[in-house]
Amino acid sequence: MLVERPFAALYPFAFALAAFLAAALSPLAARLAQRLGVVAAPRADRWHRRPTPMLGGLAIFAAIAIAFVVVPQPLQEDRYERYAYLVVGAAVVFALGLYDDLRRLPPYTKLLGQIVAACILVFGQLHLFGRPSISPVMAPFAIIWIVGVTNAFNLLDNMDGLSAGIATVVGLTLFGSSHLEGDRQSALIALIVAGAASGFLLHNFNPARIFMGDCGSLLLGYLLSGLTLLSAAQSTRGVTATLLLPVVVMALPILDTTLVAILRPANGRSIAQGGRDHLSHRLVALGLTERQAVLVLYLIAALTGLLAVGSHLLGLWPTLAIWALLMAGIVLFGVFLGQVRVYTEADFQRLDSGSVIGRMVLGGRNLLYKQQVAAMLLDLLLVMASLLAAYLLRFEGRLDPLFLSQFARMLPIAVSVKLAVFLALGVYRSVWRHMGLADAWLIVRACTLGTILTAVLFLAIFGEASLPRTVLLIDLLVLSVAMLASRRSFELMHHLVTQSRRDDVTRVLVVGAGDGGELVLRALYRSRRRAYRPVGLLDDDDRYLHRTIQGVPVLGPVSDLRAVLEERQVDEVVVALPTERQAQRVLRECEALGLPALDLASFIKAELQPGPAAVSIGS
């Protein structure tokens, strides 16, 4: 009979054992792969640059299996058997991936094997002791979920350390969530999986000395998707929270898979065809190093993981509001990266030369980047999230049935009226990249008018006694800020990526801090031709000295030019002084120093010339 054990000792022991085993066994797996000739050679559609042994999944599988056997299982026998189906399905997926690594399987055979493994787990939850832990209606969705996430982790294995690192983060998230839910067994197994992934990560982080192969990525995806399903089935927090948790935990793999599934067919490529078009590759295309790209994705996975764990402490409604805003940010991040040019012109020509029906279904180059519909869907999410957030802020996070009833009556009115106002006032005609004060003022006016009309319609239907005046005011402020932030998000992400680059960045000194200097800074930040980093400004006007313009410091007068050039390691100079004589004097001095320099007119003209763009922001 299985007995309860002190979890304070079991948890760290389970994680440390799995991590140690994976770290110790990975070099042995690498030597075995080299002896068997299972080595990934560099290819045009792959990221690594040197032959790298595979079969790292052997070390991960062995570490998980040994830890699962050694670590005491603190459950009664009937509940323990629920996890036996997970173990059997994991063994099937591992064997499938291992055979594919050794001999290569057709994609449809791999898919069939994954479906069989998913059915094993779902069958166990439906028929164990005649007491199903999931609804029979949910069985098809559970199978699709397991197969989808299993493939998502397989697709994530496209850059050193990415799949193993994300698996570590997701495993720790599931551990925290399951532990707070009281599901000790799921928490323990999730910790074992996280430990094995982290131990393997020591050998897989850039530059990787071994790859996990399909036997590793499919195994991790299956175990984590299965654990998410089992944890949700054991949850007592209600249907909404149960359905929300898996999506929150797996947000990043889902985003990566969705992006690939949409953009590959839209650019005339097969979904099964490999390529450098994943989230990680797009970040590198923007100028980040491989390590930086992977760490950015780690951070996103950690944020969604914190929300999943924090939902147990925050409650359902605050979690829904935060998740809606976070999901909006993740979607914008995906759209931003989706516009990075990673496909060749031949892809576009092949798509454009296809049938009319094909172009309509796949959405040609022009349709793909039309964002008006996407912007409206985004605003739909923001309108709902801001109204919920307003109620939560007004009533300090507690919504009793009376307020929930009022929220339910208010929501359809607010959504219908506000989106109609946004459309009528032309909010969706503005180009996000070139958003200015006039566009911002339009959004504020549209939000204000939408709130007023919502209040009038609500008052006409339900009467003055039901009108939540304070909630409407808070909602107006939250929605205005959220919409303004969403419109500026692409520029912010572009700026953050540019500032994160360690190489291929042109350091620019701007001479002139007046209107011309401010214009140059805007052009530098918005440039799609090159990556600029303004290091400072120079100006003789005492009003500007030792102050900042758009976050860039005014370092001193123009006479300090030589000293600043040496101190700040300047690559180029842009002169934006008000008089021609002053500008020519600075340009001659830069020429004497052998430093490239442009006046304001020449710089703006150069920026207006067509050139290779790292990312093209649509409307």
DSSP letters for 221-257:
HHHHHHHHHHHHHH--S-HHHHHHHHHHHTHHHHHHH
Give dist(CA 359, CA 367) in Å, integer: 9
Query: How do residues 510-564 score in pLDDT, each as one tens digit?
Result: 998 888 888 888 888 777 667 788 889 999 888 888 888 888 899 889 888 888 8
For 160, phi then psi, to 5°, come to -50, 125
Give first-to-last CA distance, the chain, whole Å. Answer: 64
Give Cα 95 to chain centroid, integer Å. 31
Six-digit token string for 599: 């006046």
- Contact (CB, 8 A) for 493 and 432: no
pLDDT at 383 over 60: yes
Of 544, 538, 580, 584, whose CA–CA distance to 561 is shortest?
A: 538
User: Which of 116-125, 130-139, 423-432, 471-480 is predicted most confidently?
Assistant: 471-480
Query: How do residues 129-186 score in pLDDT, each as one tens digit?
Result: 445 556 666 677 888 888 888 988 888 888 888 889 999 999 998 898 888 887 788 8
Lookup result for tokens 């009115």: 413
* Mean pLDDT for the chain overall: 79
Lookup result for tokens 């097969």: 270
Six-digit token string for 91: 């063994």
Q: What angle do CA 46, 47, 50 make, to 5 degrees?
A: 95
Six-digit token string for 16: 């440390």
The average pLDDT across 243-250 equals 70
Six-digit token string for 259: 């992006």
pLDDT for the residue numbered 399:
66
pLDDT at 238 over 60: no
Residue intervals of the chain classified under CATH 3.40.50.720 are 505-608
Ranges of beta strands (E only) in 467-565 are 506-511, 532-538, 548-549, 552-556
Query: How do residues 327-363 score in pLDDT, each as one tens digit?
Result: 777 777 777 777 666 655 555 455 444 444 344 334 4
pLDDT at 581 over 70: yes
Confidence of residue 81 (pLDDT cuts 50, 70, 90): low
Of 243, 231, 253, whose CA–CA distance to 304 is shortest?
A: 253
Of 245, 266, 264, 244, whose CA–CA distance to 256 is shortest?
A: 264
pLDDT at 306 over 90: no
Q: Give the CB-side neighbour count of residue 544, counting CA atoms within 13 A.
A: 23
Q: Which residue has the higher pLDDT, 399 or 63?
A: 63
Lookup result for tokens 């089935």: 233
Give dist(CA 266, CA 367) in Å, integer: 10
pLDDT at 611 over 70: no
* Percent of the chain clearing pLDDT 70 (strictly above): 78
Of 432, 418, 249, 258, whose CA–CA distance to 326 is shortest?
A: 249
Q: Please name the fold of domain 505-608.
A: Rossmann fold (3.40.50)
Confidence of residue 251 (pLDDT cuts 50, 70, 90): confident
Of 114, 139, 143, whose CA–CA distance to 127 is shortest?
A: 139
pLDDT for the residue numbered 25:
95
- 182 burial (CB, 10 Å; 0-12 / 13-18 / 19+) is exposed
Q: Which residue has the higher pLDDT, 247 or 253?
A: 253
pLDDT at 607 over 80: no
Q: Name the H helices within 37-104.
A: 56-70, 77-103
Question: Full-prediction pTM beyond 0.85?
Answer: no
pLDDT for the residue numbered 593:
86
User: Which of 87-101, 229-243, 297-311, 460-474 is predicted most confidently?
Assistant: 87-101
The average pLDDT across 83-112 equals 88
Query: How do residues 257-283 score in pLDDT, each as one tens digit?
Result: 777 777 766 666 666 666 667 788 788
